[in-house]
Amino acid sequence: MRKVYLDHSATTPVRPEVLEEMLPYLKEEFGNPSSLYSWGRQAKKAIEEARARVAGLIGAQPEEIVFTSGGTEADNMALIGVAYANQKKGKHIITSSIEHHAVLDTAQYLQRQGFKVTFLPVTPEGLVRVEDVEEAITDETILISIMHVNNEVGTIQPIQEIGKLARERGIIFHTDAVQSVGKIPVNVDELNVDLLSASAHKIYGPKGVGCLYIRKGTRIQPLLHGGGQERKRRAGTENVPGIVGFGKAAELAGQELESEGKRLKALRDKLIDGVLERIDHVQLNGDRERRSPINANFSFKYVEGESILLSLDMKGIAASSGSACTSGSLDPSHVLLAMGIPHEVAHGSVRMTLGRDNTEEDIDYVLEVLPEIIERLRAMSPLYKKAGD
């Protein structure tokens, strides 16, 4: 049976080149980077080389990169760190209603600590309006956090414009760029961001490592206290093999960004066009043009998304119903609901996200199998029968 992995927004396989660079630091180069002898110095050197590679991918300075355990820690550090460090200026934070839960749940935590949070609505295409951001700003606003690319529907937000607005008003601006770094061009100066979160395992690096870009001069408190690692911004012995892998993955992503972006966009469009042409009562979720080159998110009316996923899995195809972090939930996607999609339609949603190993033959296979699955499930659906009456 053909195997087709279409869940690259959840995670990606570690590239062989990345694993090869990591292996020495899992075996003979095991030193603690804080140690003064040669083992430690070698580990420290490897970390700094990786830091420069990651910084290069997003147009930052190496000293502005703080390594974390992943995107979630980076998001927490950005929101909580900025909130506590700047609360004397004000206690108001602006974010959107379609953020990843790493931002949403952290914002809700800060609400319980006495901060005021505005959760902005989005358009039916899943876009934040710049005018809504401007309208929400008050004299108390200290932080704006809007994701770059939505993890579920792939919409690319107007980060550059929002960042310009934040800069004019003297407000710190953070973007969760976990789904954009390594997939579309990302430059911290062009985007006008002060803080940016990224994750290694979304770009064919290892799990358990990410980073927070912190623009020089941005006031932020550390989340973790202890040692003086990461310029006293993130205590704890560094994950040297993970950081080395992140650095190599970032370097490769930068080299292939343009060519791979074009190839994946063509495959994505073939998938979207094929599904919309071959299956009735289906809609594409998210903006068609302002969209990640890897993302296709559909709602199939009159069927359950979970049933579609299990049926696809039986055919060797891996997809998802939304964020991997909420895959165990029976509730419909908060992103789709915020876009105004009805509960019953949102329940029939499937996200397919492409990656470097996907081919045209993979898409052909999906387009061959998926219509049969939807037809079979609808034949058993009382909702579909009722709609036909």
Catalytic residues, by residue number, are 325
Contact status, residue 294 vs residue 8, Cβ threshold 8 Å? yes
What b/e string do you get for 63-96 counting C-beta neighbours within 10 Å, with b at 16 or more?
ebbbbbbbbbbbbbbbbbbbbbbbbeebbbbbbb
Residue 180 CA to residue 272 CA, distance in Å, equals 20
244 closest CA partner among 65, 34, 20, 10:
20
Q: In 121-171, which ranges are E strands?
A: 141-145
Helix, strand or coil for residue 62? helix
118 closest CA partner among 99, 136, 138:
136
Residue 104 CA to residue 266 CA, distance in Å, equals 33
Residue 205 token pair = 């690096």
130 closest CA partner among 83, 169, 91:
169
173 closest CA partner among 68, 96, 61:
96
